[in-house]
Amino acid sequence: MKKAYQRYLDHLKAKLETVFKQIEKIELAADWVSQCMMSDGFIYTSGTGHSHMFAEEIFYRAGGFARVIPILDEALMLHKNASLSTEVERKEGYAKKVLSDYKIGPKDIFIISSNSGRNTVSIEMAMLAKENGAKVIVITNLKHTSSVASRHSSGKKLYEISDLYFDNGGEIGDASVQISGLDFKVGATSTILGVSILQSIMVQATENLVSNGFVPEVFSSSNSDEGEAHNDELIMKYKNIIKSL
């Protein structure tokens, strides 16, 4: 029998093949993102718990668009109080409070990541973004979300609110490898699979823009001398708009 890490890597390879059968969705999302950039819109992005990493993944990242606004609310993240974040992400009305500081509009894209797609804050963020005219793209786990009930009073799951959703192809509960003698599986997959989807959209959107003669503003590595000077200009331009900068 293969060792655990080998089984995990085999599992990831198989799931990546499943994920990238969503070619038409990737290309459609990339078209939306490129139109957003050409229209001077912003990419808003959010996730609660471990899914907040998706918001950070495309924010202030070498090779990433400058016009990205992450929703990084400490109460919904893990570094301050992990167990509290689980409670907060289930509160109705909290999303409206968080988004009150952001001017989301019809030119914008809102990308929300949630493996279960059942918790209230992400569902309400999607609803509010759509009310303001933004296109909502969701990355979720259809197997997981189909196996649980929504925690929002509408009874809807996150993918049902979206304009476009992606299935990360993961397992119920996220972990994927069974170890003999242990009751629970290990080896979560949602981050690796979801980030692959997310970066594929961004890469294709960039190619779309350049092919149309539009040179997008992207960050370089700030650990190179040329990149740092380039990034400083973008930071000065957007610091008053993107508060996380």
pTM: 0.93
Both tokens of 226, joined, read 């040329």
Question: Phi then psi for 122, rounded to 5 degrees?
Answer: -65, -40
**Of residues 69, 52, 71, the one with CA closest to residue 60:** 69
Superfamily per CATH, domain 4-238: Glucose-6-phosphate isomerase like protein; domain 1 (3.40.50.10490)
Q: Which runs of E-coded beta strand occur in the chain?
A: 43-47, 68-71, 109-113, 135-140, 164-167, 175-177, 186-188
pLDDT for res 50: 83
Write out pLDDT tens, residues 89-106.
888 898 899 999 899 999
Write out pLDDT tens, residues 165-204.
999 998 888 999 999 999 999 999 999 999 999 999 999 9
- Domain residue limits, the chain: 4-238
